[in-house]
Structure 1
């Protein structure tokens, strides 16, 4: 093929479409169009194609995809890509629409039978480069770095990384002409191409630097010492085939597969097929792009002749060719300028740099502010390295910013505003006016994805900013932020605040456009984050003396258990060593092996010991010892050490954006995992106390998930049981066993309770049989009887699984989305797990929403009446308060009403209140 030079107005752009579509699929949440058709990969693909044209401005381009079927590499090596997972079904459904829309956008599309996309790109780039033409390859595939030369450059659309010859050498440690050697030594696990065992990037680059090339490494194989040398010598016979597999071909004959292979003119970008594209956007539910296209079509004939980029790029890959203007504020005049800017801005982003990750003790090192994309300022306050420039006094800066920070009418934005609120509170500032948090926007939009600012910028902006490690170093060499050079700190911090603003401009329109998501964000998550900050600052009082006493008692019991275990084993052994325990149980005592570890050894995990404890005394002793050891190490020993010396209280941290269902998690310390099924675990709660003159009040919803099940399923019998105030477990037992409620025995009620809660969690006959200790056939009969009496529940479960498969997510009653990535693409067990989650998640998520709404309602009432009652903990469905005795009567009367009134379900919400001098007695 003879490829003449392209016009001067643009390079040849070669897009690795196969790389793009996978990246698009994984970058976006499981979006669904009309009828539930998956559209996330289509959306991402369109966005990246637009951005590629906008960034590169080519006159000629081609998008290359892998053709289905085998390639010549499969003939060379039948195991090539043998272990690669099949394409997820939701992505399979989007392949044809992706090909269609790329063509509608004006792009030539190539798929060559029997030839991989890499080799098509390699051949085109080689021909063009030989003609002296500038070529840009857009891909995320490191293998294509071997094609880079003075004419060919790689760009990574997601990270904006550009690799020329120097860039490849810096990134990989070898020049482009040695990338094949480098890849051959390392191998490629994704494509199932073996390399030299345990040789990674550093070793491969080191060997090539020492010996010049792969051939040089092979020639010196006998001289390479250690295990690496042994592995190299074992691989010598394979390496030539490995090199052949990782080498991108640059001489493919397209004419063999594409008769009459076209001339260069066919690779020119064509005008967008606007009418067909409008229909495409309508079919797949891309409302914003459709609106923009309709506006452009209304612009007349000039618009119709526009080149391939029409609308603004999607927020995911918004245009970042923005000039950056970062200021370091070192003078009063600059401070005044920026104070005026944030005070007059419709929305300003703020980010703090600190000396600790502990929000209760962290002190400010610097503050960054941003009012528009690309523009930000860093105010250094406590950088203390030798030679640091003079900085404005911290007190002066905070006093100047305090009126704005505490002004509820001055809109502010942050990433994880709860942390920054703590930091500023440590400095005596109560921040008001936080109206947006990009962490929570991401959580509401795509709870199953990471929510760090780095992740959000990569995923939604295509930006890769400086990391904390970039400025502070890693591990033992990491320095405090106060020791970071101010110029570098300014770049890092300014980037954080202005990227936060830009992420917000991307995410907020998506949240705002959906009624349910907007409610969850504005009415639940944002108000709750402010309440959580207050709960964390309130802390909870504990009794260290009581915990010390419990620690001593636990230690004595553990010693006793150890003596009894040694006696049963007939010898001493380490109670904490799985290896020694395995040798005793399965070697010396000959107990049956229940399951094995990945390495093939008999497992001694809790599930195994539970099973063995049914018939043997030693496993029971081991289980009890493990339980007490965990309790002692995690709580009775550790909690007193976590008391804040300034407040005399323990201050947990509530992670708001972790659980996909909307539940909160607690850490440092984890207050949600204190075991309550054992007497020893419950006694830990005795150490959570109220100060003199106050009591602990605990409030939680009664049978909340069962009530939600009744509401969601609409089952008449279940609704009737709750409406009449019946004991729902007794009512279920009566239905399942076909008897009057008064005749239900305690054992039958226990069975019914297990069935009620088991089915909520998607439990089948196998799980129910295990829980009740009965035959699977009997469990199956119970489930059949249950569904016969509660057909609405069965209908809900069946409909939910179908809906989840169509949409890729389920929703709570309030509109929170819980994505289920495995519902369509997973294997058998993982898919079954996703189906169980689909059944349970709407109930668990709705319960989490109700508890958060209760927190909001209760705190609002406490504030309105200026009560001194403090909310001190939230644990699953339970709220815990520290109540002055003078307010106890009001709390007892009002708390249940406030909690019951946060939503109107088809069944009454019931909140129960307990009171005591400590948490255990109040619970």
Structure 2
């Protein structure tokens, strides 16, 4: 059987991948989409071809004969995009790490190298496959040289295969006559001009009839139609040049060594490291370099099978210096516990006939009292599970707990998730089997019953990886200056948030129902009114039908057509509303419908038997460090519309309590004053002046007492806009003024507060230099956007670089305040509890007899959360519901 060689047109395939794969960047800011697409294509073809030899050909920067010919005709070739250009050397590094031979030579194009090696390999009796996106290479096809051309149809990539007969069947000409076709019809993708006015059909007819361009030109007077005859007569020189451009040199001066091209194991450790750096997670499973290590590790995972052994393991757990654990549960039922006590001891204890969940977690809780360092993933979820089984973590023991998810989040807050598999790859250099690989689509309950051996591996890794990755995570946190942030802010916050979630907030279900009914009445009134104004009934919630009513029937100006009809986004409608009552009513209808579905109806589903809603706070979602809230989202309660604010009336305290709401006043502007060191802004805050009125006075050069409400509102928009890196265009939109006026406002603002401009510029420069923005407390926000060649992406990155240190510092301060308030309430033996955090606002359910003390604690701990150059002020109110307290 003949040996097989696969030759790959490197630039063609990477270029195709660049335009075919959505833009990707790794955490270092390197564009990776072209490399990712190339490797996926290569792996697929290797599996199909199973070649004995492999080589990838690349062009080089030095001009080739064909380059020079084309440049003489056109001037310059289109340069490679910068985002693609930076990926080519990295791809070569990956290929070399995989032991794959590459070839390139100054003065020769990749096509010439491919043609030469293909012909020589065929002469050695080999079966040759050439993989390229370039149809020029079809001229190489023979019975023993097959050309493979990837083609995407409906989002799915297929490969067209061509030997001699395949070319004839598809193009009606022999492979070498492909050169003649290109000479006549050209190829813009390959910078081959061809003959103006001759397309593919005419070119094919001419070559079928005359065989080549020389013969066609010799019989030019016979050519029909006249348009083709005239074109060939007038531009025959271009046909000759195009033929030279299209002809691949199959006898280059190039020394090729088949021994070096012999294909071995491409899944090497060196390649694994590069793939890991590029963050191609789904490719890592291809690499078997970890297989022996995995087998060795998996042997230490023990499935505990009786009570005596379980008791012994948990007794041993109380005596180790550190441990890692994972509780496996499904639909509220604890199925098993994973426990790693050392590098050589990992146990999986199922909840079966010999132990109950209460006993198992109870014994685990007893062990916690003695272990100095305890690691888990998603500590807050573990606390909830432990609490449900009667296990309480005492205050003095909370410092022993580490959360691997939060550590990984701090090191890279741009990721979507922080799973055990990802920790294994990034911090233990190990590829572990996924749950799907082990169990398919089976639930954990079924897997434990029917696939005990797979569950042993799954459970073993769940705690083993945490045990192994935590030292590296801590070391990296220390190196990046974030260990204190982790230990003193984020980990204590887990316990604070856990307590808040357990408390929940009381809801007046009847008031919520009444609120929903009132909304329904108003929505019905608006619906009737809208139909009357439109002169017909239609689906108000259908953008397509609404667009027809507004822009076709009523003839309103400003309609923007999309593929599915006119855009009826809020931005479009808000511009039309002042001139058209119907549009204003539609906007109100939308707002009320959202209020009803999301809040009036939506919140009712979350009221638990205790009459309270228990939201879940998320600590690892936002890149800036802000908390988020889900199921339900209580941080997004509407405040702009009065009717929206009314929803807060349904949130009430328990009997004998009031709600106390404390809100930081302009915290981000105060942080800006401190971090920038601007004397004017600091002086204004220290003097307790109205910062927006003062800004208006100084920016518009009018006495403080003569500033109008409009001027103050405009100054407020500038003040807060600056924090978010607002552009003159954005400000002009916000204030409905010209872009020139907006630019003047911003310019005057920076003249008033000169240090702010310096500070914001320095934030951008530092982020460009270091690759991340940083808060006052050392939190990092990676900034890959700043390296983009896309102007919009870079501009976004610059705005984020300005805002992240400010918003992130404000988020850090509120977290410190939450921990301090929670700690004080408990330390002083109060029954009042912290319930909610909404960005800069804390809500406490305070017993009336403790009210004075609660307000004192809020005031002292929130104002003392950070030492700034300006005072941290809070606004504090109390009430019988959240609406009154806010």
Alignment TM-score, normalising by the size of structure 1: 0.70
> Whole-Å Cα distance in 1 between the matches of residues 621 and 113 of structure 2?
38
Q: How is 1:101-116 mapped onto 2 (pairs within 5 angstroms)? A: 111=104, 114-115=109-110
The reply to whether residue 29 of structure 1 matches residue 27 of structure 2 is yes
Partner of 1:632: 596
Partner of 2:232: none
> Whole-Å Cα distance in 2 between the matches of residues 421 and 117 of structure 1?
65
Partner of 2:210: none
Aligned 8 A contact 2:617 2:629 in 1: yes
Partner of 2:419: 453
The reply to whether residue 810 of structure 1 matches residue 773 of structure 2 is yes
The reply to whether residue 581 of structure 1 matches residue 581 of structure 2 is no
Aligned 8 A contact 2:551 2:559 in 1: no
Aligned 8 A contact 1:355 1:480 in 2: no
Bigger shift: 341-350 or 809-818? Answer: 341-350
The reply to whether residue 412 of structure 1 matches residue 374 of structure 2 is yes
Q: How is 1:114-133 mapped onto 2 (pairs within 5 angstroms)? A: 114-115=109-110
Return the offset for 1:255. 11
> Whole-Å Cα distance in 2 between the matches of residues 419 and 85 of structure 1?
52
Instruction: Tell me: CA distance 1:545–1:392, structure 2 relative to 1, closer, same or farther (3 Å).
Output: same
Which one of 503, 513, 526 corresponds to residue 538 of structure 1?
503
Partner of 1:866: 829
> Whole-Å Cα distance in 2 between the matches of residues 142 and 558 of structure 1?
60
Instruction: Tell me: CA distance 1:780–1:180, structure 2 relative to 1, closer, same or farther (3 Å).
Output: same
> Whole-Å Cα distance in 2 between the matches of residues 650 and 514 of structure 1?
38
Partner of 1:276: none
Return the offset for 1:808. 2.4
The reply to whether residue 513 of structure 1 matches residue 475 of structure 2 is no
Aligned 8 A contact 1:315 1:507 in 2: no
Return the offset for 1:111. 4.5
Alignment TM-score, normalising by the size of structure 2: 0.72
Partner of 1:609: 573
Aligned 8 A contact 2:699 2:745 in 1: yes
Return the offset for 1:916. 1.1
Instruction: String of CA shifts for 1:224-274, please: whole Å, max 9, x gaps.
Output: xxxxxxxxxxxxx9xxxxxxxxxxxxxxx99977855569589999xxxxx
> Whole-Å Cα distance in 1 between the matches of residues 650 and 86 of structure 2?
56
Aligned 8 A contact 1:713 1:793 in 2: yes
Secondary structure at the counterpart of residue 768 of structure 1? helix
Partner of 2:490: 525
Aligned 8 A contact 1:27 1:459 in 2: no
Secondary structure at the counterpart of residue 868 of structure 2? coil
Secondary structure at the counterpart of residue 644 of structure 1? coil
Secondary structure at the counterpart of residue 339 of structure 1? helix
Bigger shift: 748-757 or 61-70? Answer: 61-70
Number of aligned residue pairs: give it: 738
Aligned 8 A contact 1:106 1:308 in 2: no
Partner of 2:613: 650
Aligned 8 A contact 1:736 1:785 in 2: yes
Partner of 1:376: 346
The reply to whether residue 557 of structure 1 matches residue 522 of structure 2 is yes
Q: How is 1:82-97 mapped onto 2 (pairs within 5 angstroms)? A: none
Partner of 1:764: 727
Return the offset for 1:697. 0.9
Secondary structure at the counterpart of residue 358 of structure 2? helix
> Whole-Å Cα distance in 1 between the matches of residues 815 and 867 of structure 2?
15
Partner of 1:494: 460
Secondary structure at the counterpart of residue 698 of structure 1? strand
Return the offset for 1:806. 2.3
Partner of 1:355: 330
Aligned 8 A contact 2:54 2:261 in 1: no
> Whole-Å Cα distance in 1 between the matches of residues 653 and 132 of structure 2?
60
Partner of 2:73: none
Aligned 8 A contact 2:423 2:469 in 1: yes
CA RMSD of aligned residues (A): 5.0
Instruction: String of CA shifts for 1:707-731, please: whole Å, max 9, x gaps.
Output: 1111121111111111222111111
Return the offset for 1:103. 9.7
Return the offset for 1:410. 4.0
Instruction: Tell me: CA distance 1:28–1:463, structure 2 relative to 1, closer, same or farther (3 Å).
Output: farther
Aligned 8 A contact 2:94 2:275 in 1: no
> Whole-Å Cα distance in 2 between the matches of residues 621 and 74 of structure 1?
63
Bigger shift: 736-745 or 479-488? Answer: 479-488
Aligned 8 A contact 1:548 1:636 in 2: yes
> Whole-Å Cα distance in 2 between the matches of residues 852 and 630 of structure 1?
30
Unaligned runs of 5+ in 2: 37-52, 69-77, 134-143, 171-200, 202-247, 278-283
Bigger shift: 104-113 or 607-616? Answer: 104-113
Instruction: Tell me: CA distance 1:64–1:415, structure 2 relative to 1, closer, same or farther (3 Å).
Output: farther
Partner of 2:173: none
Return the offset for 1:614. 2.1
Secondary structure at the counterpart of residue 686 of structure 1? helix
Return the offset for 1:610. 0.9
Q: How is 1:91-240 mapped onto 2 (pairs within 5 angstroms)? A: 111=104, 114-115=109-110, 184=150, 187-188=151-152, 195=153, 198=154, 200=156
Q: How is 1:872-911 mapped onto 2 (pairs within 5 angstroms)? A: 872-911=835-874
Return the offset for 1:626. 0.8
Unaligned runs of 5+ in 1: 4-13, 32-37, 45-60, 76-83, 133-140, 144-176, 189-194, 219-236, 238-252, 270-306, 357-361, 383-389
Return the offset for 1:407. 1.7
Instruction: String of CA shifts for 1:51-91, please: whole Å, max 9, x gaps.
Output: xxxxxxxxxx999785556999999xxxxxxxx997666x9
Partner of 1:738: 701
The reply to whether residue 710 of structure 1 matches residue 676 of structure 2 is no
Instruction: Tell me: CA distance 1:617–1:890, structure 2 relative to 1, closer, same or farther (3 Å).
Output: same
Which one of 308, 311, 314 corresponds to residue 333 of structure 1?
308
